[in-house]
Amino acid sequence: MQNGELKQCELQIVETPRFFEAMLRGRPYGEASHITSRICGICAVGHATASLRATEKALGVAPSEQTVLLRKLNFHGEILDSHILHTYMLVAPDFLGVDSVIPLAKSAPEVVLRALRMKKLAGDICKVICGRHTHPHRDDGRRLHALPVERRDRRAARTACRDAR
Amino acid sequence: MSAKPKVAFFEFTSCEGCQLTVVDSLQDHPELLDAIEIVNFREAISRRDHDYQIAFIEGSCSRPSDEATLKAIRAQAGMVIELGACAHLGGINTIRNRQNLDDVRHYVYGDKADWYETYPARPIHAVIDVDAAIPGCPIDRDEFIMAVTQLLQGRMPQIPDHPLCIECKLKENVCVYQRGMTCLGPIIRAGCDAICPTYGDGCEGCRGMISNPNFDSLREVLAEHGMSEDAIKAKLTMFLTYQMMDRGGIGDDNGATNA
Ligand code: SF4
Ligand code: SF4
Ligand code: SF4
C-alpha cells in the first residue's frame, strides 16, 4: 500500500494437497474431528466442530444443549483469536508500511503487547473448553471427556481474565 | 552462538499450526524477538531473506518438487530443525500412505487428479539430514522456547525420551484406562505435559514413540481393553504410520503400498 492505494498484490498458493477426504476413509469416527482439525491450525476449532456435527448427523445423535453452548463459546474464542491475529499481526503491518508485526513491537510496543494479551485471552477461552486452540481435544463426538468445571479450569479462567486486564 | 542468529521458518505439507504456536509463544515470551532475528516466516512476514543460520521446518515432504527446496535449505542452514509432528514423523499426512495414492488423488480431485502431484508423505529427515526435532501436533510452546534457549546457549534441544505415563503420573491424572478408554502413553515420548490425558482424552501419539517402546506389551494391553485388531491398527497409524513402517510394518493387509 502507498498513500492508501494498492500498488502490488501477490497471490501465492503454497499449500500442498492434503487429501483429507481420502484419509478419513475407513478410520474410526471418533478420530474424524481430530484428523480434520489438522486442515488448518489457525481455525482448528472450526474444522473440528464441523466434523463433529457431520459425525453426529451421520449417527443421528443430538448433542446436549450444554455441549452446544460450550462449542459456541469455543468458537467465539477462536474467532477472537484469529481476528486479532488477522488485524494486528497480518493487516496492520501492511497498512503501516512495514513487513511484519516485529517492527511494530519496537514502534508501538503497548499496542502489540495488548494484542498479544488479547490473543492469549482468546486462546485461553478455547483452552478452558477444549484443552488448546490448536488442536482441540476433549470433544470427539463420543462424549465431552471432561467439562470445564474442574478446579484447574476455573483457576485458568481466572488467571486469563486477570492477565487480560 | 554469536549475537542474534538469523532464523528462518519454512512450511511444507502442514496446517501451519506449529508456526502459529511459535507466534503464540510470543504471548508469554515477547523477548524472543530480542534474541533472534526472524528473516523468513511466510505466515507473518512479507520480506524474504535467504541468509539464515537456523531453519525450522514445519510439514512433511509429500511431493517430488519439495525435495529441491529442502536440499537448498539444508545447504544454507547450519542447523535444521524439524518443527512438529508433520516434519518429525510425517504426521497425519502419512495416513494416506497406506492407501493407493492414485485412488486417493482421484477420490479427492476427480478428473483434475493429475493437477496434484503427490507421493507418500515422509518426515523431513527422510529427505535431508536434520540436526534436531521439536515433536508434537502442534509443538508445545514451552518446549519451543526451551529449545530456542538451548540453541542460543550452543546446546542441542533436550527432548525427553521417557514415556508420557511418567509425566501423566506426575500430574496426578487418573489414568484414562481406568475410565474405560485407551491411550498410547506407555510408548509415547513425554514433553507435552500429558495434555490429552489431562483433558480426559487418550494419547494419540503425536510426539512419536520413545526410542525403546515396549510395543508388544502395549498391543496386549490395548487388546485386553477391548480394542479389535482394526481399532489397534487405526490407533497406531494416526501419527505413527511412518514410524510403524520403519519398525517393519503394521502387520497389515492392505500392505502399506506407498504406491
Ligand atoms: S504437526 Fe500438527 S500442528 Fe504442526 S503443522 Fe503438522 S498438523 Fe499442523
Ligand atoms: S492416561 Fe495414558 S499416559 Fe496417563 S498413565 Fe494412563 S496410559 Fe499413561
Ligand atoms: S498426550 Fe499424546 S497425543 Fe496428546 S499432545 Fe501429548 S503426545 Fe500428543
CATH of the domain at A107: 1.10.645.10
Q: Is residue A7 part of a domain?
A: no
By the 10 Å C-beta count (0-12 exposed, 13-18 middle, 19+ buried), A111 is classed as: middle
Is residue A11, in this structure, part of any structural domain at all? Answer: no
For residue B194 and ligand 2, the question of a CB distance below 6 A is answered with yes
Query: Which residue's CA lies nearest to atom 3 of ligand 1?
Result: B138
A5 domain-assigned: no
Model confidence at A161: pLDDT above 60? no
For residue range A2-21, list pLDDT tens digits in order: 888 888 888 888 789 999 99
Percent of chain B with pLDDT over 90: 80
Closest in B15, B99, B138 to A39, CB measured = B15
Specify whether the CB–CB gap between A101 and A95 falls below 8 A.
no
Which of B10, B13, B14, when mutated, tests ligand 1's pocket best, judged by the most ligand atoms within 8 Å of its CB?
B14
Is residue B41 within 8 Å of residue B8, measured between CB atoms? yes
Residue range B58-62: average pLDDT?
97
DSSP alpha helices (H): ranges in B77-228? 85-89, 101-109, 141-152, 164-170, 195-198, 215-224
| Whether the CB of B15 sits within 6 Å of ligand 1 | yes
* Domains and their CATH numbers in chain B: 6-152 (3.40.50.700), 164-246 (no CATH)
Nearest CA in chain A to B30: A113
Please tell me the distance between residue B17's alpha carbon and the centre of ligand 1 in angstroms.
5
Q: How near does any CA of chain A get to the CA of B146, in Å?
A: 19
> Could you say which of B17, B30, B63 has the minimum Cβ distance to residue A16?
B63
Q: Is residue A13 part of a domain?
A: no
What is residue A160's predicted lDDT score, i.e. its pLDDT?
Answer: 55
Number of separate domains in chain A: 1
A130 touches chain B (CB under 8 A): yes
pLDDT at B93: 97
For B84-120, what is each residue's pLDDT tens digit? 999 999 999 999 999 999 999 999 999 999 999 999 9
Looking at ligand 1, which atom is closest to the CA of residue B21?
3
B20, B66, B196: residue with CB nearest A137: B196
Q: Is residue A156 part of a domain?
A: yes
**Ligand 3 contacts CB of residue B194 (under 6 A):** yes
Mean pLDDT (whole number) for B204-224:
95
Give the 3-state DSSP-derived string for B75-110, with helices as H, strands as E and coil as C: HHCCEEEEECHHHHHCHHHHHHHHCCHHHHHHHHHH
- Predicted confidence (pLDDT) at residue A82 exceeds the cutoff of 90: yes
Average pLDDT, chain B: 91
- Give domain status of residue A6, yes or no: no
Indicate the SS3 state at residue A134.
coil
Decide if A131 is inside a domain: yes
**Residues spanned by the domain of A96:** 20-164
Q: Which of B26, B117, B176 would best serve as a mutation to test chain A binding (most A beta carbons within 10 A)?
A: B26
Q: Does the residue A3 lie in any domain?
A: no
Residue nearest to atom 2 of ligand 1 (CA): B137
Atom of ligand 3 nearest to the CA of B207: 7
Mutating to test ligand 1, I would choose from B11, B86, B140 the residue with most ligand atoms within 8 A of its C-beta, which is B86
